[in-house]
Structure 1
Amino acid sequence: MSGGSRLILTQDLHASLQKHLFPGDGKEAAAIVICNRYEGIRLKLLARELILVPYDECKTRTNDFISWPGSYLEKAIDIAEEKLMSVILVHSHPGGFLEFSEMDDASDKQTISSLSQGVNAIHGTAIMVPDGGMRARIYREGKYVENVELVTVAGDDIRYWWDGIAEPGQKPIAFTSEMTDTFKKLTAAIIGVSGTGSIVAEQVTRLGFGEIVLIDHDRIEKKNLNRILNSTLEDALSGRPKVYMFAEAARYIRGEDIARPIHNTIFSRESVLAAANADVIFCCVDTFQARMIADRIACSFLIPLLDVGVKIPTHVDPEDGRKITDVTGRIDYVKPGGSTLSDRHVYTPELIYRENLSVQEYEDQIERGYITGFQEEAPAVITLNMRAASACVSEFIARCFPFRESPNKQYARTLFTLAGAEEDYTDENAITRALNSRLAAGCEEPLLGIPELGEK
């Protein structure tokens, strides 16, 4: 099973931090990161706000030491106090040494004590080297030190810095055993374990992820058997929950209980908090509301999100009747702090409203189905699902272990058409991004800003 604490930063915050900490004078510099926390299966520190400490405010700045100005510690305490947020003191190591020094240890004894007296929460310190690599540690009850297992930035590229690896050396290459070793330490959440979702889950299982959270409220029916991997006639006859079926299949594949099944709708507090433990979310659903929830989870808990959808639009030909217009798939990669699924109009308030109108249930079901225009109970779409699911998981691999000729930011969205045998891509910079007040909000109530998910 994957485990261990995480410090998670957005790409923009990390870039601002790196720029400030290395002004080019070869001396240490300082900054403060204010974090929300999620204390689920593991501790997650979610970077919410950045305070840059001016260079001339530090009484001493050398190539291997910096003194923290008390006024900026007080400023951090004032910001963190109301919501008992965590304060992470960050300084640079211009020489590139990605380890805490004895001077860092001595400095922590003073600064952490002051922070703990000001805010009764978990606080910590972190270091950064010139290439942006980071290491962090926390102090429980102000004195019990604990290394943060992973510092990560989920941007256009997803960067990982693991505790205990002082000299990272060459980065792992995609599709190698080193990639598998990385995935063993990560948790993937799959929302929707049906036609496309079961194929994503199959890939994630065989790629070696340490833990897989499966979320789906539905049960297996005979009409599902032509497209849900590992499902059987016995499962359909007994109405077995999809997540229980696949959790057992994962155990047969891997020989251990790596899957955590959540037999519930994603529109539930249990499911949201289960997904919040993940390091990546794969959204494989067919409703606008479910996509909205996945979008908000990714934003609130700083989790990279991959959303996949397929569609077979049809039209009526005057002579030949109904015909297929196209066979399409869409993969959206959403980085925390970047454009959301809402910004990309994958869902809108109007679409969610219409979806919830019971009087239109049948019409909406037709429009949401694989093949638009008429109802098909058991569509034979497993080949399309496999194409889209493979592209979805491959997109995540490309983010973690870049191998493309062009920068990853050019592939915020991928659209493919099998009828036209083409692929089209959307650059992250081409999408208008709205202000997102819930970025790194964590478990602030009501959960995800939705009263129905609030703590009872």
Structure 2
Amino acid sequence: MMPGATLSLTAVHHAQLQTHLFPGDGEEAAAVLVCSRVPGKRLRLLVRDVVLVAHEACRKRTEHSLTWPATFIEQAIDLGERESLSLVLLHSHPSGYRDFSRTDDDSDRAIMPCIFQAFGDLHGSAVMTPDGTVFARLYTHQGDQIPVDLVSVASADLHFWWWKERHRGAKRPMAFTSQMTSDLSRLTACVIGLSGTGSPMAEQACRLGFGRVIAIDHDRVEIKNLNRIINTTLADAQAKRPKVAVFAERAKLYREEPFFEAVEANVMTRSAVLAAAQSDVLFCCVDTHRGRMIADRLAAAFLLPLFDVGVAIPTRQTEDGLAIAEVTGRIDYVYPGGSSLGDRGVYTPATLQAEALAETDPQAHRERVKAGYIEGSPEQAPSVITLNMRAASACMMEFIARAFPYRQVSNAGYARTRFMLAEGFEEATAEGEFIAKRSGLLAAGAAEPLLGLPFLGLEENTR
């Protein structure tokens, strides 16, 4: 069953809260989460700010109860009232009790009406246990209670804490098992770009058992890319059918219930961004710098883990003509608050500007991008499906390694992985080797302009 309500935190906020809520004295502590929302039909809260309740300000702190002054809630109201954000009152259970107690229920009944009287239409409460697990519930203005089905934190590892499995704590299913499939059945994957690397990426997402798969692409099938886009046929190319429509037609045969959403739109449009915002994990498989910039902003604004994949075949000039210098693939994993694709130089202001200028000659731009597999060669139908599938598989394995850890070393050492097939070499770059710049978009959610980009504020655009 797909989650009806979710709450997401950055790794920094989660670590800050765990340190504050468990100071080592075995007594409860508290904080207030100020949360934005994801636009669209999905009820998803994003922790934007945290108000820590000073331990010494509490009138009473014991292992099972806590009394703290309303001034900290007032601080949170000041932060959230202008944008009508949501407040979630968080406290610790040092004993490890994995449910709301009667004391918690009584406290919510007394405090929630006061918060609603101040502002807003959705607030809640949450508990953290010593292992870092968080579970939560929300309240409407009418007093209806909504369990938060999923609390997520993206760091070097991906943490998904399910309301119905809160008693299992931080223990995660073993990778490659039916229990992993069960967890995936409640998550939504978004694949941006459904071409060379995107089609095998979407295929894996469908076959692995993601409960919902969203695919975004505005392009159409052509004869020259039949040799690298799986599930496409000659008839599809002759009819110039949309890539997402072709994939959706095949995907619906995989399961009895509908699960695949085809979004025929450029990722640079509002409709595409709003669709991607409904996901739990992003897979970026585009071949443009601006597409990757949008994916970067999506990850920050909606607190989503992002996996970006790219391939290249650089060439060298020899006495006999052009020859392969290397056959490479790159997978970058980005989490909100860590280093971005921009921080890592995957795209730069110069490359973004060059692409924008290329719009004056769109046809030349499209040809330049599509011919980019083999550098220095005008090959229009490169035989790269094996390379694409190798890279797409490595990208999906990075997701599995973080959501259902199987590595014998820390995932923090694999912010970027690169393989070089000609040289027979693979390397990894740790998150700490990149310099992360602070993003003003973190947990921006539905704030306009969307993703901080004015052109996405338009109801319709044709980029």
TM-score range, shorter chain: over 0.9
Residues in 1 aligned to 2:142 and 2:26: alpha-carbon distance in whole angstroms: 31
Paired position in structure 2 for 1:386: 389
Contact 2:187 2:210 survives alignment (8 Å): yes
Contact 1:5 1:42 survives alignment (8 Å): yes
Q: For residue 265 of structure 2, what is the amino acid of its counterpart?
A: N
Q: Do residues 340 (structure 1) and 343 (structure 2) align?
A: no
Q: Aligned to 1:137, what secondary structure does the other structure show? A: strand
Q: Aligned to 1:35, what secondary structure does the other structure show? A: strand
Paired position in structure 2 for 1:90: 90
Residues in 1 aligned to 2:166 and 2:79: alpha-carbon distance in whole angstroms: 32
Deviations 1:79-121 (A, max 9, x none): 1111111111000001101100111011001221121111223
Q: For residue 192 of structure 1, what is the amino acid of its counterpart?
A: G
Q: Aligned to 2:47, what secondary structure does the other structure show? A: strand
Paired position in structure 2 for 1:11: 11
Contact 1:29 1:61 survives alignment (8 Å): yes
Instruction: State which of 353, 370, 374 in structure 2 corresponds to 1:371.
Output: 374
Paired position in structure 2 for 1:287: 288
Paired position in structure 2 for 1:356: 356
Structure 2 vs 1, CA of residues 354 and 455 (structure 1 numbering), >3 Å: closer, same or farther?
closer
Q: Aligned to 1:194, what secondary structure does the other structure show? A: coil
Q: For residue 139 of structure 1, what is the amino acid of its counterpart?
A: Y
Deviation of the 1:197 alpha carbon: 0.3
Residues in 1 aligned to 2:309 and 2:167: alpha-carbon distance in whole angstroms: 37
Paired position in structure 2 for 1:165: 165
Paired position in structure 2 for 1:414: 417
Residues 227-266 of structure 1: pairs in structure 2 closer than 5 A: 227-266=228-267
Contact 1:247 1:259 survives alignment (8 Å): yes
Q: Aligned to 1:252, what secondary structure does the other structure show? A: coil
Residues in 1 aligned to 2:154 and 2:86: alpha-carbon distance in whole angstroms: 20
Residues in 2 aligned to 1:450 and 1:43: alpha-carbon distance in whole angstroms: 23
Contact 2:39 2:445 survives alignment (8 Å): no
Q: Do residues 442 (structure 1) and 417 (structure 2) align?
A: no
Contact 1:113 1:142 survives alignment (8 Å): no
Contact 2:11 2:154 survives alignment (8 Å): yes
Q: For residue 339 of structure 1, what is the amino acid of its counterpart?
A: S
Residues 19-418 of structure 1: pairs in structure 2 closer than 5 A: 19-141=19-141, 143-168=143-168, 170-317=171-318, 319-358=319-358, 362=364, 365-366=367-368, 369-418=372-421
Contact 1:116 1:142 survives alignment (8 Å): no
Q: For residue 143 of structure 2, what is the amino acid of its counterpart?
A: K
Deviation of the 1:31 alpha carbon: 0.6
Deviation of the 1:221 alpha carbon: 0.9
Paired position in structure 1 for 2:432: 429
Residues in 1 aligned to 2:182 and 2:361: alpha-carbon distance in whole angstroms: 48
Q: Aligned to 1:442, what secondary structure does the other structure show? A: coil
Contact 2:450 2:457 survives alignment (8 Å): yes
Q: Aligned to 1:171, what secondary structure does the other structure show? A: coil
Deviation of the 1:129 alpha carbon: 0.5
Residues in 2 aligned to 1:326 and 1:356: alpha-carbon distance in whole angstroms: 29
Deviations 1:302-329 (A, max 9, x none): 0000000000011222x11111111000
Deviations 1:214-272 (A, max 9, x none): 10000111111111111111111111111111112111122332110000100111100
Residues in 2 aligned to 1:417 and 1:255: alpha-carbon distance in whole angstroms: 40
Deviation of the 1:366 alpha carbon: 3.8
Q: For residue 385 of structure 1, what is the amino acid of its counterpart?
A: N
Q: Aligned to 2:61, what secondary structure does the other structure show? A: coil
- Structure 2's unaligned 5+ residue stretches are none
Instruction: State which of 427, 440, 454 in structure 2 corresponds to 1:451.
Output: 454
Contact 2:39 2:277 survives alignment (8 Å): no
Contact 1:306 1:396 survives alignment (8 Å): yes
Q: For residue 291 of structure 1, what is the amino acid of its counterpart?
A: R
Structure 2 vs 1, CA of residues 342 and 239 (structure 1 numbering), >3 Å: closer, same or farther?
same
Instruction: Compute the RMSD of aligned alpha carbons.
Output: 1.4
Residues in 1 aligned to 2:432 and 2:367: alpha-carbon distance in whole angstroms: 34
Structure 2 vs 1, CA of residues 71 and 306 (structure 1 numbering), >3 Å: closer, same or farther?
same
Q: For residue 378 of structure 1, what is the amino acid of its counterpart?
A: A
Residues in 2 aligned to 1:243 and 1:3: alpha-carbon distance in whole angstroms: 25
Residues in 1 aligned to 2:305 and 2:100: alpha-carbon distance in whole angstroms: 29
Residues in 2 aligned to 1:387 and 1:293: alpha-carbon distance in whole angstroms: 25
Q: For residue 450 of structure 1, what is the amino acid of its counterpart?
A: L
Contact 1:331 1:414 survives alignment (8 Å): yes
Q: Aligned to 1:165, what secondary structure does the other structure show? A: helix
Contact 1:112 1:142 survives alignment (8 Å): no
Contact 1:445 1:455 survives alignment (8 Å): no
Residues in 1 aligned to 2:222 and 2:132: alpha-carbon distance in whole angstroms: 50
Task: Out of 360-369 and 404-413, give the one that drifted further.
Answer: 360-369
Residues in 2 aligned to 1:21 and 1:9: alpha-carbon distance in whole angstroms: 15
Deviation of the 1:152 alpha carbon: 0.8
Contact 1:28 1:92 survives alignment (8 Å): yes
Task: Out of 140-149 and 335-344, give the one that drifted further.
Answer: 140-149
Residues in 2 aligned to 1:98 and 1:48: alpha-carbon distance in whole angstroms: 25
Residues in 2 aligned to 1:256 and 1:196: alpha-carbon distance in whole angstroms: 26
Deviations 1:262-295 (A, max 9, x none): 0010011110010001000000000001000011
Residues in 2 aligned to 1:315 and 1:60: alpha-carbon distance in whole angstroms: 72
Contact 1:108 1:125 survives alignment (8 Å): yes
- Quick one: percent identity of the two aligned structures? 51
Deviation of the 1:363 alpha carbon: 7.4
- Structure 1's unaligned 5+ residue stretches are none
